[in-house]
A and B are shown apart, each in its own frame.
Chain A
Amino acid sequence: MAKVELKNIVRNYQAQLEDTALIEDKNRPALSNINLTIAEGEIVSVVGPSGCGKSTLLKVIAGLEFPDSGQVLYNDFDVTHVEPQKRGIGMVFQDYALYPTMKGQGNLHYYFEVHQRTQEEMDQRTREVAQIMGVGFDQLIGQNTTALSGGEQQRVAIARCIVRDPLIFLMDEPISNLDAKLRERTRIEIKRMLRKFKVTTLYVTHDQQEAIFMGDRIVVMRKGNIEQVGTFDELYYTPVNLFVATFIGSPPMSILPVSKQGNTLKIGDTSLEMLPISLEDGAYRLGVRSEGWELNNPQGVMMAVRHIERIPTEQASFIHGTVGGESVSVLAPLDQAQVSEIRVMPKWDQVYFFDASSEAALHTPSVPELF
């Protein structure tokens, strides 16, 4: 179990033709000035769009890539340039990365063979892990890994990670390649296991739902920078900028250009009465989440309806449409009638204000008190 600290990590792109990064992105570092502390036993999710540097971050922590400047510390011990072989970590990859010429068992044993451990230790650890992984795992590891399905391969990959009792778990989008339904199930199993082991874990994903489920804290990244770190509530209710606000929450928050005059807010041609807030008059961007709209308010602004998506499991539907040309999604009851336009009013205690040109968040609702 280890505390992990990153100080001022900078990592430049290694110019490779097959990089998926866009041409504009080649002029910036893959990671710029990353500072992060992960407490012992904490599970941290790292989430962000493709190309944001989350996988590179994981590789720097693992030692598979060395940063161009900055420090990586395990328990206050500088491991920045220590090779991955010597770091005592466990890692699960997106494509499972099982050794194809060995059976499942061989995959688990490789670590022990390379470190010249005894046969008894190897067998004992394998037995322990087989028990943790559940029924049927013994048969699974007796087979060639290429004969297994995606979900089974993933389980072997996870077992390989835990069989060596590592200091840190590093997971790089481990369930992205699975079917949606399998992902749901595997997610719960992984979380349960992580809770049981209480090992410091870093979990990288592009799916924010997964990130929210897995992590005690969530790190949101974009273009090589950490935008914000916090619990789900902190990110959801008090985002530091427009990017975090629109990234967390689905459907994404609607952003509308507005201008404030005293207690009146002008959206396009409509003027709305709002509650007083401590902001100067002027132009801003208003952020409203789908649950932050009130339906059928005659003083509200007109929304042109494009399409109504009904979701029985949420006992709700989403009205997708536009207000003044900007995309808006509004939460509505499941039996919402099909209409071509509807008047909506923002709930003023749930709105966000952003600067009109920069991305700064100027006013956010605070985390709601339930009790």
Chain B
Amino acid sequence: MLFPKVGRKEPRLRFAWYTVVAILLVGIFLHLLPFYFMITTSFKSAAETFAIPPTIWPENPNTSAWEFIFNVTTANSTSAQVRDIMPQPIGIYARNSVIMVFGALAISLPVTAFAAYANSKLQSGRSARWFFLFFIGTLMLPGAVTLIPSFLLTRNFPFPLPQTPMIPGTENPFPTVRIWDTPWAVIIPAAFNAFNFLLFKGFFDTIPNSIIQAARVDGGSEFNIFRRIVFPMSIPVFAVATWFQFSALWDSFLWPLVVFQSSDQIPMSVAVYNLINRFASAGATNSQQAMMQSQAMTELLDAGIGWPVLMVLGILQTIPIFLMFLVCREYLLKGVRLRGLR
């Protein structure tokens, strides 16, 4: 115990206690600093953002950046320039994000939870262990290794091959489904989440077998037992799993970048990236590139998109995660209260 309950008055312990508190406070401050900066910048004028040293508080707080975004959202958009840069209103991108994330959650949570429940309670012995290791093993594959096969899968589902193979003995290719450039390309790979599987299985293991047995003796079918007894007990775990997966999916970037092409399919995260990329890419290696970059930047500035606007976009991207956290926390606490703290 770092801070035992007894003997707290010893000077050595007190010193340690205060030091730890001080370090934690510094950590919290540093952690919150970017958020603070993001919010204050969204209320600055575009020029002020380039000031050196950066100002801590906007000189003339104004909501021009916010208004800009909302005008664009409501699609009575202004210049051709803006439409050129951001082909769709913000609302479309937001909609895509929502479809992607909620679709994935709606499928992933039941599938993963059922798999974990089966592995924990319905299987036993060696087969249970092997399945568990198999599923957890998938966590060990780096995303970079599976990226290309997964991409090919989305083009010729269910074959991870560049060309659909022929049905042996005929001239016809196998029937395939092309899920590339549709929300399914994100939803299907997310349908089973190995990390959540670990979380659920760990939790279901703590449910005493006797409760399940009592329910079986009472006459409940396995599905009924899960629905009426196990699920209400697991609300905290579902809350945690939901939140983790939500924030991972909402912010996911590389995979949507790879599988979406049409501008009306990309989610918010990719759209914001594209924008920032055009606005402020780093590392020009020759003068031509540098010129192109400064040209892009000027275009954007002329269209009215500066750092404040980008900050607003960033805030909008972050808010859903924060809201989801609040919602999940409620369920988490409610579940903990129900179970009692033993």
Contacts of B215 in A (CB 8 A): 99, 110
User: B78: shortest Cβ distance to chain A, in Å?
Assistant: 55
Tell me the B134-152 residues at the A interface (CB within 8 Å): none
Tell me the A223-270 residues at the B interface (CB within 8 Å): none
18 new A-B contacts, CB < 8 A, other than A84-B216, A102-B229, A146-B342, are: A84-B217, A85-B219, A85-B220, A91-B214, A93-B213, A93-B214, A94-B210, A95-B210, A97-B210, A98-B211, A98-B214, A99-B215, A99-B228, A100-B338, A100-B340, A114-B218, A115-B219, A146-B340
> Are the CB atoms of B224 and A114 closer together than 8 Å?
yes
B320, CB-defined interface residue at 8 Å = no
24 contacts between A and B (CB under 8 A): A14-B125, A15-B126, A16-B124, A16-B125, A64-B213, A83-B216, A84-B213, A85-B216, A85-B220, A86-B219, A91-B213, A93-B214, A94-B210, A95-B208, A98-B214, A100-B338, A100-B339, A100-B340, A101-B229, A101-B233, A101-B338, A110-B220, A114-B221, A114-B224
Contacts of A87 in B (CB 8 A): 217
> Are the CB atoms of B340 and A64 closer together than 8 Å?
no
User: A37: shortest Cβ distance to chain B, in Å?
Assistant: 22
A159, CB-defined interface residue at 8 Å = no
Tell me the B311-340 residues at the A interface (CB within 8 Å): 338-340
Q: How distant is the Cα of A294 from the Cα of B151 in the complex, in angstroms?
A: 90
Q: How distant is the Cα of A102 from the Cα of B338 in the complex, in angstroms?
A: 10
**Which A-chain residue is minimally distant from B211 (CB atoms)?**
A97
Q: How distant is the Cα of A83 from the Cα of B225 in the complex, in angstroms?
A: 14
> Are the CB atoms of A89 and B339 closer together than 8 Å?
no
> Are the CB atoms of B216 and A97 closer together than 8 Å?
no
Q: How distant is the Cα of A147 from the Cα of B221 in the complex, in angstroms?
A: 28
Contacts of A144 in B (CB 8 A): 338
> Are the CB atoms of A114 and B125 closer together than 8 Å?
no
7 shortest A-B CB distances, which residue pairs? A101-B232, A97-B210, A97-B214, A146-B340, A93-B210, A114-B219, A85-B219
> Are the CB atoms of A62 and B219 closer together than 8 Å?
no
User: A161: shortest Cβ distance to chain B, in Å?
Assistant: 9
User: B342: shortest Cβ distance to chain A, in Å?
Assistant: 8
**Which A-chain residue is minimally distant from B342 (CB atoms)?**
A146
| Total residues of chain A contacting the partner, CB 8 A | 33
User: B233: shortest Cβ distance to chain A, in Å?
Assistant: 6
> Are the CB atoms of A62 and B217 closer together than 8 Å?
yes
B residues with a Cβ closer than 8 A to A are 124-126, 208, 210-211, 213-221, 224, 228-229, 232-233, 338-340, 342
Contacts of A94 in B (CB 8 A): 210
A67, CB-defined interface residue at 8 Å = no
**Which B-chain residue is minimally distant from A111 (CB atoms)?**
B218
User: B125: shortest Cβ distance to chain A, in Å?
Assistant: 5
Q: How distant is the Cα of A224 from the Cα of B279 in the complex, in angstroms?
A: 76
**Which B-chain residue is minimally distant from A163 (CB atoms)?**
B218
From A15, A97, A100, give the contact of B213 (CB < 8 A).
A97
Q: How distant is the Cα of A98 from the Cα of B338 in the complex, in angstroms?
A: 14
A90, CB-defined interface residue at 8 Å = yes
Contacts of B211 in A (CB 8 A): 97-100
User: A196: shortest Cβ distance to chain B, in Å?
Assistant: 22
Pick the most buried of A93, A98, A115: most chain B CB atoms within 10 A of its CB: A93
**Which A-chain residue is minimally distant from B213 (CB atoms)?**
A64
Contacts of A89 in B (CB 8 A): 217
> Are the CB atoms of B216 and A64 closer together than 8 Å?
yes
Q: How distant is the Cα of A71 from the Cα of B44 in the complex, in angstroms?
A: 82
Q: How distant is the Cα of A112 from the Cα of B251 in the complex, in angstroms?
A: 47
Tell me the A105-143 residues at the B interface (CB within 8 Å): 110-111, 113-115
Contacts of B219 in A (CB 8 A): 85-86, 111, 114-115
Pick the most buried of B126, B219, B221, B342: most chain A CB atoms within 10 A of its CB: B219
**Which A-chain residue is minimally distant from B214 (CB atoms)?**
A97
Contacts of B126 in A (CB 8 A): 15
Contacts of B125 in A (CB 8 A): 14-16
Contacts of A16 in B (CB 8 A): 124-125
Per-position binary interface string of chain A over residues 153-177, scored 1 when its CB falls under 8 Å from any chain B CB and 0 otherwise: 0000000100010000000000000
User: A146: shortest Cβ distance to chain B, in Å?
Assistant: 4
